């Protein structure tokens, strides 16, 4: 039997077996990708099929017995059947698909070392393989933007950019306060618009980055003004310390046995705290407002 027919049969069986509308909806939303991965470190499965979905069984919090109980195990059973067929299973909320070639791109970090390997320009997704064929649009989309940076392995010098300065650090250790907004502003003050930030490394608590200028605008750089420009923002470490202190003060006022979540805002040095219901926690809504 052709692969697609087998997949269709499994989905149909799952829809028929599902006991809840939530279970049916999860099975209905399963997507298959036959184009493979465009994510460093991932090998394509031998079956050629990657399946994306929410594979968790549907569970409900039982307040009287104080525990979760499964109300629909169809999604989990479908996952097992697909795995048996050789499909690689992924979580659908962690992936998107390249609009050019259809390959799967990861949107959610796997570790602190992870870097985004795709671009999203005007809502259109391009994978690292497609961008590598001609990075011009990708690079131009990042020019003059202090909120975004190059996260792909692209030779910027080969593409017409000149390194202005590297070694910038932003993070939770004292002194790691380089602020791309201030750096971008310093360049704009010199009439430079074609600058690009590049993420050079990611650590557990910090990142390092560099700034590059397109060769067409290199002559505009005033070395003296650049050297004297403010590039550091307020202390990140100090903001974090104040936010953590605020969090522990506020956490102490919440019920001791609840699921309590604190969100620290390093910029203002404050924290928001809230108690999350077990159901919201299970549904992945702990961080939503
Ligand atoms: Zn692609």
Q: Are 60 and 279 in contact (CB under 8 A)?
A: yes
222 C-alpha to ligand 1 centroid (Å): 39
Same domain, 15 and 99: yes
Same domain, 222 and 246: no
* pLDDT tens sequence across 201-240: 999 999 999 999 999 999 999 999 999 999 999 999 999 9
101 C-alpha to ligand 1 centroid (Å): 4
Q: For the purposes of burial, counting CB atoms within 10 Å of the CB of 182, is it exposed (0-12), middle (13-18) or buried (19 or more)?
A: middle
120 C-alpha to ligand 1 centroid (Å): 12
- Where are any strands of DSSP class E within 49-140? 50-53, 58-62, 67-72, 88-91, 95-97, 104-106, 118-121, 124-127
115 C-alpha to ligand 1 centroid (Å): 17
124 C-alpha to ligand 1 centroid (Å): 11
284 C-alpha to ligand 1 centroid (Å): 29
Average pLDDT score over residue span 20-42: 97
Alpha carbons 87 and 265: distance in angstroms, whole number:
41
Same domain, 156 and 194: yes
- The per-residue pLDDT for 288 is 65
Same domain, 228 and 249: no
State the total domains in the chain.
3
204 C-alpha to ligand 1 centroid (Å): 29
Please enumerate in sequence order all residues whose Cβ is within 8 A of that of 149, keeping only pairs 6 or more positions apart, or say none: 142, 180, 196, 197, 198, 199, 209
* Res 99 pLDDT > 70: yes
Same domain, 212 and 242: no
Same domain, 225 and 270: no
Which domain-ending residue is among 196, 212, 233? 233
Q: pTM of the entire structure? A: 0.88
Would you say residue 144 lies in a domain?
Answer: yes
26 C-alpha to ligand 1 centroid (Å): 26
Tell the residue number behind the tokens 């997507």, with chain if given.
Answer: 31
Q: How confident is the model at residue 1 (pLDDT cuts 50, 70, 90)?
A: confident
Same domain, 229 and 141: yes
Same domain, 152 and 172: yes
19 C-alpha to ligand 1 centroid (Å): 38
* Res 50 pLDDT > 80: yes
Would you say residue 9 lies in a domain?
Answer: yes
132 C-alpha to ligand 1 centroid (Å): 9
Would you say residue 289 lies in a domain?
Answer: no
121 C-alpha to ligand 1 centroid (Å): 13
118 C-alpha to ligand 1 centroid (Å): 9
* Res 7 pLDDT > 80: yes
104 C-alpha to ligand 1 centroid (Å): 8
210 C-alpha to ligand 1 centroid (Å): 27
Would you say residue 288 lies in a domain?
Answer: no
Alpha helices in the chain (DSSP H): 3-17, 21-28, 74-84, 128-133, 136-142, 180-189, 223-227, 236-251, 278-282
Alpha carbons 7 and 104: distance in angstroms, whole number:
18
Same domain, 217 and 144: yes
Mean pLDDT of all residues belonging to the chain: 95
Same domain, 100 and 147: no
Same domain, 271 and 198: no
Q: Among 251, 262, 243, 109, which Cα is nearest to 172's? A: 243
130 C-alpha to ligand 1 centroid (Å): 4
- The per-residue pLDDT for 282 is 83
Would you say residue 113 lies in a domain?
Answer: no
Q: How confident is the model at residue 43 (pLDDT cuts 50, 70, 90)?
A: very high
* pLDDT tens sequence across 130-174: 999 999 999 999 999 999 999 999 999 999 999 999 999 999 999
35 C-alpha to ligand 1 centroid (Å): 9
Average pLDDT score over residue span 86-114: 97
Domain residues for the domain of 228 are 134-233
- The per-residue pLDDT for 289 is 59
């Amino acid at each position: 039997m052709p692969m697609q027919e087998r997949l269709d049969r499994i989905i149909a069986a799952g829809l028929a077996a599902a006991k809840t509308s939530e279970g049916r909806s999860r099975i209905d939303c399963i997507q298959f990708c036959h184009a493979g991965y465009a994510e460093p470190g991932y090998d394509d499965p031998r079956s050629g099929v990657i399946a994306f979905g929410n594979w968790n069984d549907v569970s409900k919090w039982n307040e009287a017995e104080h525990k979760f109980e499964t109300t629909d195990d169809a999604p989990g059973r479908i996952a097992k059947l697909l795995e048996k067929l050789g499909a690689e299973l992924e979580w659908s909320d962690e992936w998107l698909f390249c609009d050019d070639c259809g390959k799967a791109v990861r949107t959610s970090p796997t570790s602190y070392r992870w870097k985004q390997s795709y671009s999203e320009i005007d809502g259109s997704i391009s994978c690292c393989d497609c961008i590598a064929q001609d990075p011009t649009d990708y690079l131009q989309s990042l020019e003059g933007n202090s909120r975004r940076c190059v996260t792909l392995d692209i030779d910027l010098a080969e593409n017409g950019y000149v390194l202005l300065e590297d070694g910038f650090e932003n993070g939770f250790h004292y002194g790691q306060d380089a602020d791309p907004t201030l750096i971008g502003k310093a360049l704009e003050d010199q009439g430079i618009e074609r600058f690009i930030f590049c993420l050079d490394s990611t650590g557990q608590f910090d990142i390092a980055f560099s700034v590059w200028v397109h060769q067409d605008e290199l002559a505009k750089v005033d070395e003296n003004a650049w050297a004297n420009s403010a590039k550091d923002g307020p202390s990140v470490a100090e903001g974090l310390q104040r936010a953590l202190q605020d969090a522990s003060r506020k956490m102490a006022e919440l019920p001791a046995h609840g699921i309590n979540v604190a969100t620290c805002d390093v910029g203002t040095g404050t924290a928001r705290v809230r108690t999350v219901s077990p159901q919201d926690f299970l549904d992945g809504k702990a961080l939503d407002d």
